[in-house]
Amino acid sequence: MPETYLGILIGIGLSAACGFRIFIPLLIMSISSATGHIELSESMGWISSYPAIIALSVASILEILAYLIPFVDNLLDIIAGPVAVLAGTIATASFITDMSPFVKWSIAIIAGGGVAASVHSATTLARASSTAVTAGIGNIIVSIGEIFGAVFLSVLAILFPVIAFFSVVALLIYFSIKLSKRYFVNKEKTK
């Protein structure tokens, strides 16, 4: 059973990384599984196939390039929200092995999809702020930060799942504090 809990922690870490970039965490997960560094649930073995690695590599490159174009990145954020939730759900489900399908998918949707949605929402707000302040020019810096976040968190989740989990918790607390401060500052200004 401890492997199950570690698997869930890996999945949650990768799900959070999917909130930064959708395809990079899945690509890192795919390569890690194909090289034997991690073990996926039986039903998700297709993720480590060579066609999946190729498809995820192409998708990652296209996603990185598209997010470096100001205003296109804002449009992609609208589309990427639901897709990030789906990717986060798949990432978490891929590591849950010793549970009934109902429990597995419930955890994957709630924990994986929820974490991916939370991180993606925070990055969308950061990009919207950057667009408003810099007319989109600063979005390149936001995009590079998201790429770094996706890669770093994915690798951390695979190598050190417990540290990755607590990093995700800290990240979500940080985003919540920033968001609540913004809300209360704006509420005070409207009085």
Span 84-129, pLDDT tens digits: 999 999 999 999 988 899 999 999 999 999 999 999 999 998 998 8
Tokens of 67: 């997010």
Angle between helices 2-20 and 139-159 (to 10 degrees): 170
Residue that the structure tokens 């995820």 belong to: 56
**CA–CA separation, 189 vs 141, rounded Å?**
29
pLDDT (tens digit, 9 = 90+) per residue, 131-180?
999 988 999 999 999 999 999 999 999 999 999 999 999 999 998 898 88
pTM of structure: 0.91
Per the CB < 8 A criterion, the answer to whether 153 and 29 are in contact is no
Closest C-alpha to 175, from 12, 20, 60: 20
3-state percent helix, strand, coil for the chain, nearest multiple of 5: 85, 0, 15
| Residue, of 189 and 72, whose pLDDT is higher | 72
186 pLDDT band (50/70/90 cuts)? low
Per the CB < 8 A criterion, the answer to whether 54 and 153 are in contact is no
